[in-house]
Structure 1
Amino acid sequence: MTGRELFPTSDCLKAHQREHLIHEEIERQDADILCLQEVDRLEKLCPMLEKAGYSHQYASGPNKKHGCLIAFKSSLFSLSEHKIVFYDDEEISPDETPMQKVGQSFVTRNISLIVGLQKLDNPDLGITVATTHLFWHPRYTYERARQAGILKREVTRFGQSDALRQGWPSVLAGDFNFTPPDPAYSLLTRTTLLPEHEEILRPSYVVHRSVDPTVPLSPSQPAAADADEGGGVEAQDPDRVITNARMASPSDGLLDSAGLVKLYSESPEAKSAYDATLSRFLQLEPGQEVPIFGSTPEPNIDPTHPGFHEPAYTSYTHYWKSVLDYIFVLKSDKVDTRFTGVLAPLPGNALEPGLPQKAICGSDHLPLVTEVRFNSL
């Protein structure tokens, strides 16, 4: 599908129309650390970042046209080490065959980028930061849960692999492509799956022909499916149904509910900066109107559960309006984490007729910004 078909109400679809808006947003927020996804046109972005005082690390999946980038203030941090996690190659099970060990439902070419940043004024202190862009297809709930579990596990392993980093806080930020009622959100924040989560997961226990080439093509479908955002046969299907796939069998190695819980239990639970901050703000100021996820027409989540106080929207376009992006901090008994502020979320009526818009945001995703203090920094 073309950009105009996906974003019919946008007034800035061309790269040259949107690029300066995104650059200006980065400069205006002036964050110490940036996590960016779907990054391309590095020849334009990197000089801007350098001029603004940032160093950076970039990575992309195999043959991807865009990737993930973490930038950090050169006056505050130095890069001690980085790691790229290729989700398609990561094992999640000790089973014997390679296919069972990986246990994936789709070859997506998605990655995560992890960096260790040392403080210049005290190299013993620092922070582990990871960014990612999980698989986009709405129906592949299991694959996103698998990828998010791998992300949390690998960030934890990265932090534990060096004695210096073991006392550093760990931050996960990016486009997770799921909403708060999603099984992966519950697994990240509580390491639990409720019966309703299992119902959501069940239809996604499939194996795509990108994993098993013997799977026959669905009727009237092209031979290739592109796993990039908005690309391939699934993106052309208005219902976003699963095509070119078969139901999974035990020999495929996909993790059941107990297996997913075990994967997530290997690393600490995650705490959302926005969910924690907005929840606390509304407790202190109960009369305030804040556009949170729980105030949207169909939140489908208990007010006492994590995720209810996420922003109402982090992506708002003509066709979809959703919460897809998060900033998480892994819980630790060595680091005291205090969220002291977030960039206020915008209500839906301020985002009409849908992003990107010259007067609002140069991206179809809104920026998330948090101020956080760690006792080790």
Structure 2
Amino acid sequence: MKKDAPCPSHGHSSSISPHHFVGPYHSSNPSPARSQAARMGSATPRERQPYVPTPEQIQLANERKAKRIVAKMQQASAPTSPPDYSRWILPRKWLPVSSPSTPAKTRVTIMTWNMLAQCLVRGELFPGSDCLKIKDREQMLAAEILNYDADIVCLQEVDRLDALLPRIHDTYDHIYASGPGKLHGCMLLYRRNRFEKLTSKVVCYDEEALTQTDGAQKPGATRRTNNIGLLAALRFKESSLGFERNKGCLIATTHLFWHPRFTYERTRQAFILLRTIQSFRSELHLQSWPVYIGGDFNSQPTEPTYSLLVGQALLDTQRAELETSRVVHVSIDPQVGVPGADGSVQQSEDNDENENEGRDGDDNNQDPIIANSRRPTTSDGLPSVRVLESVFRDELQGSLRSMYDAAHLTTDTFGQRHALSSGRKGGSEAMWTSFTPLWRLTLDYIFALNGVEDNEAVEPRVLSVLAPHTTATLEPGLPRKGICASDHIALAAEVEW
């Protein structure tokens, strides 16, 4: 059978050419007259003429096209509803603190959040969690950042930038930095339609001396931690709500050393951050600009680091805590060896990258000397606790003010779960900022440092804060789908100045 011969069972060709159309009004066999004309050559196929629309048809087509263009423009310019992130996280409401000034002043919303780096996720640290895999966390992480519409976002434990940045790029520009050898870092986000970056700076705490101590031969660190602070000067864009060109703010974020027993090192790092901020602002001649610091300070309001940051005198118990942790770790002095009960050298139980372990502050090792550490000598450059306290008081131009503590919240506060002595600050901090089955703590804060203009303080005023999650909501612990992708809770404050 030929390839194009009719198939006996179907009555027509299995391959239909354009000139051999079989349809309801056409026979599959040509008529005798048509066959005869073809044989005689008396007929030729009629050429198809190009279609030329009439003027009326052209006008109608143009009118329809114009209507489509107008409809698209109207759709693009129409106000759109904000994205609904509630399918990914549990959104929180804003709590009003004070009314905005009239006439309106400069107003900014600042957020801070420890995202829980994927490289630090361990199943044994977060028992029962249903969102430890990155595929379950990616959308939740972006939703938490975008949901509260902050102008500036301070982030810690940031990794997987290739997955995060495309989701937030339309809204934010970013500055990222990490310590030497760290697999995660700190990041500042700022709304691209409001701010432009003047400059930024990274401070590596391991390389900075706390004070110039007589006879010191080392920077004065108790332990090598690779922790950093990240600073930036942000100026309002000229088109941003009519703000003056020379207005802006300084912003900083940090992640202080995590180990619960190294209180002295955390306090040392906090002082170096504040000193760097002061010199950074002075070098740029921006003393009139306020400073906002958001971060994971790994310190609760009862601890000496927090007290010194907010300008409080230390309690005797806090001084004792600092003195106990004023040591030199083997990471600073490799010759350090602390004999164990059998005369052997104790091995370190911790790893710099296992930053979630031990956050409950209940370190099983309660020896007078921290494992793998020794008491300092003059050459180590570690100032006494009294000197450390005095440099906070004397060398810093004013103390920090916590935005949550200044809001004087009455529910879900730190003071409701821990009684503070009369006059002590920190009672209105969030009840929890890190909440898991293994630890439940308040570690994260948003601080402000006043600017000074014409010898008068430029003091930020809190307008509202993001409500803390309730304990019932956080049970049995984070991370959890539909609640939060991190073991930490985001904080945010709207301020004006």
Structure-2 separation of matches of 1:72 and 1:184: 28
The correspondence for 1:307, drawn from 394, 403, 426, is 426
Deviations 1:347-366 (A, max 9, x none): 21210110000021000000
Greater fraction of residues in helix: 1
Amino acid at match of 1:68: C
Residue 194 in 1 paired to residue 315 in 2?
yes
Map residues 283-298 of structure 1 onto 2, 5 A cutoff: 290-296=411-417
Gaps of 5+ in 2: 1-119, 239-243
Map residues 112-123 of structure 1 onto 2, 5 A cutoff: 112-121=229-238, 122-123=244-245
Partner of 2:406: helix, strand, or coil? Answer: helix
Shift of 1:98: 5.7
Residue 22 in 1 paired to residue 141 in 2?
yes
Shift of 1:172: 0.9
Match of 2:364 in 1: 239
Residue 337 in 1 paired to residue 460 in 2?
yes
Match of 1:83 in 2: 201
Runs of 4 or more above 6 Å deviation: 231-235
Shift of 1:300: 5.0
Residue 166 in 1 paired to residue 279 in 2?
no
Instruction: Go from structure 1 to structure 2 and tell me whether the alpha carbon gap of 1:8 and 1:320 turns closer, same or farther (over 3 Å shift).
Output: same
Q: Could you tell me the TM-score, scaled by structure 1's length?
A: 0.89
Deviations 1:194-218 (A, max 9, x none): 2121122121111100011100266
Using the aligned pairs only, state the percent identity.
41
Map residues 90-105 of structure 1 onto 2, 5 A cutoff: 90-95=208-213, 99-100=217-218, 102-105=219-222
Gaps of 5+ in 1: 283-289
Residue 129 in 1 paired to residue 254 in 2?
no
Instruction: Go from structure 1 to structure 2 and tell me whether the alpha carbon gap of 1:304 and 1:34 turns closer, same or farther (over 3 Å shift).
Output: same
Structure-2 separation of matches of 1:11 and 1:71: 28
- Compare CA radii of gyration and give the structure with the larger one: 2
Amino acid at match of 1:271: R
Match of 2:161 in 1: 42
Shift of 1:247: 2.0
Structure-1 separation of matches of 2:150 and 2:494: 9
Structure-2 separation of matches of 1:300 and 1:234: 20
Instruction: Go from structure 1 to structure 2 and tell me whether the alpha carbon gap of 1:8 and 1:202 turns closer, same or farther (over 3 Å shift).
Output: same
Report if the CA contact (8 A) 2:177-2:230 is conserved: yes
Map residues 130-279 of structure 1 onto 2, 5 A cutoff: 130-163=252-285, 165-216=286-337, 219=340, 222=347, 226-230=351-355, 239=364, 242-265=370-393, 266-267=395-396, 268-277=398-407, 279=408
Report if the CA contact (8 A) 1:275-1:308 is conserved: yes
Shift of 1:319: 0.6
Partner of 1:147: helix, strand, or coil? Answer: helix
Report if the CA contact (8 A) 2:261-2:363 is conserved: no
Amino acid at match of 1:110: N
Report if the CA contact (8 A) 1:221-1:233 is conserved: no
Instruction: Go from structure 1 to structure 2 and tell me whether the alpha carbon gap of 1:66 and 1:166 turns closer, same or farther (over 3 Å shift).
Output: same
Structure-2 separation of matches of 1:234 and 1:214: 28
The correspondence for 1:106, drawn from 223, 237, 240, is 223
Instruction: Go from structure 1 to structure 2 and tell me whether the alpha carbon gap of 1:233 and 1:274 turns closer, same or farther (over 3 Å shift).
Output: closer
* Count of residue pairs the alignment pairs up: 359
Shift of 1:148: 0.5
Out of 190-199 and 25-34, give the one that drifted further. Answer: 190-199
Structure-2 separation of matches of 1:146 and 1:194: 18
Partner of 2:266: helix, strand, or coil? Answer: helix
Deviations 1:56-109 (A, max 9, x none): 100000010000000000000000000000000111222355644x21110000
Report if the CA contact (8 A) 1:234-1:240 is conserved: no
Instruction: Go from structure 1 to structure 2 and tell me whether the alpha carbon gap of 1:231 and 1:159 turns closer, same or farther (over 3 Å shift).
Output: same
